[in-house]
Amino acid sequence: MAQTQKLKILYNLYQQQWLGETYMNPITLKQPSHDKLPDDLEELRKIVLSCHLCDLSKTRKNVVFGEGNPHAKLMFVGEGPGATEDETGRPFVGRAGQLLTKMIENVLEISRSDVFIANIVKCRPPNNRVPTPEEVSKCIPYLFKQIEIINPKIIVALGSTSYKHLTGDNTPISKIRGEVIQFRNRILIPTFHPSFLLRNPSKKKEAYQDLLKIKELLCEIS
């Protein structure tokens, strides 16, 4: 067996140990379980930054863990990092991110730093394609642990990919957007992804209505 292959297997074994596994099949890698991940956001970030559980780690420049208020009442979840996010290691900082920031600050009338922003997958899929089910299965335990630690009152699913993988529901985003859904003892509201709004400006009015509903609910829980 080549030395590089041995080192890769050894690395994967250590990674499983970091994630709380006491043993593993020497051939098949196990996906992380969110209940075995640390309850500290900074410790979780360190694990995610060193993750190599799927092939996205081979093409990424930076892991995009997420950012914002670690005690945020409101959390936004997108699909995955784009090119600008991959370069900077920060979520939603490209054109779609600039629109999201305006939506947060101009409509919700709160600072972007007051919310938490994350994605279904933490590494950029090549050419901004939709992440595969296997890639999501390896990464989404990190997101569920983030949600558990941050404990937001409201989660906004940005786009169909986010909504589908959070809930397991394949309902098109155009049919479900704006609905108030009970999700893990929290409220989840799906709406259009900002990148979709950039391509379809006529849908901004519907997204605006969704944000007004989110704003009203935030006021009620404050």
Let me know if residue 14 belongs to a domain: no
CATH number at residue 149: 3.40.470.10
pLDDT, one tens digit for every residue, the chain (222 residues): 454 554 556 556 545 555 555 544 443 445 556 668 999 999 999 999 999 999 999 999 999 999 999 999 999 999 999 999 999 999 999 999 999 999 999 999 999 999 999 999 999 999 999 999 999 999 999 999 999 999 999 999 999 999 999 999 999 999 999 999 999 999 999 999 999 999 999 999 999 999 999 999 999 987
In this prediction, residue 29 carries a pLDDT of 47
Let me know if residue 21 belongs to a domain: no
* List of E strands, 92-215: 116-119, 154-158, 181-183, 186-191
Let me know if residue 84 belongs to a domain: yes
**Other C-beta atoms within 10 Å of 37: how many?**
22
Let me know if residue 128 belongs to a domain: yes
Let me know if residue 106 belongs to a domain: yes
In this prediction, residue 222 carries a pLDDT of 76
Let me know if residue 5 belongs to a domain: no
Let me know if residue 74 belongs to a domain: yes
**CB contact burial 158-191 (16+ within 10 A = b; e otherwise):** bbbbbbbbbbeeeeebeebbbeebeeeeebbbbb
Let me know if residue 18 belongs to a domain: no
> Range of 44's domain?
31-221
According to DSSP, the β-strands at 74-78 and 154-158 are parallel
Domain count, the chain: 1
